[in-house]
Amino acid sequence: MIMKKIIPSLSLFFAMLLGASCSKSDKGPGTDPGSSEASWKMGTYAYTRGTSNQSSSIIGGANLHIVYATTSGAPTQGVFSGSAVTVKFFDQGPGEYTIVAESAFSSANAVNKIMSIDCAIGTAVSTGSTLYTYASGTGKAKVTKVDNQYRITIDNGITLNKKLDVNGGVAGALTSYSFTCKSIF
């Protein structure tokens, strides 16, 4: 039972590390790094997209789409500096998606407009980071498509709960935070 929980967490963590090391910045019109166009908040901590990437693959006959965005620049929020967001959804085109817990996110539910979200904080410092995930509730996300890239917006805060501490985690981090985002791509 413990391995069933640890393996997905570790694979997500390594996917985030790989995404951070292989991601690229989209320097198209209006998408310069540092622009507040794409941003997110974990509680009172605000983050702006620095780099990102998107990918898709067929899983169980469904088109799984992943959007991964990270911050860039000098640490400015102490141990909370740096963040990475991973959004997974089964591509049903633009529209409103229901955010579900990781346990409910499977190709068996791919005919529904569902989405899973993780957010790590403390990724720009060497003192530790903490991964948060959506556990339950009735969260909704708006998905749009601009310049052939999906963009995710969550206006009404959803609660993300602590899932995994890396290198001891972020000192002083809470067990949960309200999460909102604007046009993550």
Which DSSP category does 80 fall into?
Answer: G
Which residues lie below 8 Å from residue 15, measured CB to CB, with a gap of 6+?
68, 86
Number of structural domains, the chain?
A: 1
2 to 6, 22, 69, 157, 160: CA distances (angstroms): 6, 30, 29, 30, 21
Structure confidence by residue, pLDDT tens digits, 131-161: 999 988 879 999 999 999 999 999 999 999 9
Using CA atoms, how far apart are residues 117 and 39, in angstroms rounded to an integer?
15
The arithmetic mean of pLDDT across residues 99-123, rounded, is 92
> What value does the mean pLDDT take over residues 32-54?
83
Tell me: pLDDT of 30 over 60.
Answer: no
Q: The dihedral of CA 27, 28, 30, 31: what is its sign?
A: negative
Q: Which of 111, 118, 147, 113 is nearest to 132 (CA)?
A: 118
Q: Which domain holds residue 103?
A: 2-184
> Which ranges of 46-118 does DSSP label H, i.e. alpha helix?
none
Predicted pLDDT of residue 74: 73
Half-sphere exposure of 76 (CA within 13 A, CB side): 8
On whether the CB atoms of residues 88 and 103 are closer than 8 A, the answer is no
The 10s digit of each residue's pLDDT in 114-129 is: 999 999 999 999 999 9
The model's pTM is: 0.79
Mean predicted confidence (pLDDT) in 97-124: 93
Separation CA 33–CA 98 (nearest Å): 28
The torsion defined by the Cα of 65, 147, 155 and 130, in degrees rounded to 10, comes to 50
